Amino acid sequence: MAAKTERTFIAVKPDGVQRGLIGEIVKRFEQKGFRLVAMKFLQASEDLLKQHYIDLKDRPFYPGLVKYMSSGPVAAMVWEGLNVVKTGRVMLGETNPADSKPGTIRGDFCIEVGRNIIHGSDSVDSANKEISLWFKPEELQSYNRHPRVCVFCFVLF
């Protein structure tokens, strides 16, 4: 199957925000070659979070998850690129940080499943739903990256 350009929803959770990890996470996605097409910093409402986590509503941890996610600001983002959903999930690491490999975001920065610093869409369908829940269509940007240019030598590389 050929690689295709798609979009994913990534959110730095309140613990990631409190620990000052937004920049590091953005850096990793940019260095991988993905394109940031939307970003906002907000205090998510309980209603928004209940909609976002609707698939987990029957799980015993659901009320605590919604309460935690509404306890502080989050950085919500949309990233675009080839197979960004699958690759983004690999970059995040396992939901339980204890199972995450070094080099992944969770493997490098967290130790507790209830405070795993980041959310990432688990499928293209989920990504589309999450993006439309958190962002209006006009908030999504479309642009092409320019090639890297050396300003001293005017050489493309």
Respond yes or no: is residue 146 known to be catalytic.
Answer: no
Distance (Å, whole) CA 83 – CA 81: 6
Residues annotated within a binding site for ATP: 13, 61, 89, 95, 106, 116
Distance (Å, whole) CA 118 – CA 110: 10
SS3 content of the chain, % helix, strand, coil (to 5): 40, 20, 35
Distance (Å, whole) CA 113 – CA 128: 25
Contact (CB, 8 A) for 87 and 32: yes
Q: Determine the length of the chain.
A: 157
User: Tokens 């950085």 appear where?
Assistant: 75
Catalytic residue chosen out of the listed positions 7, 119, 121, 130: 119
Catalytic center residues? 119
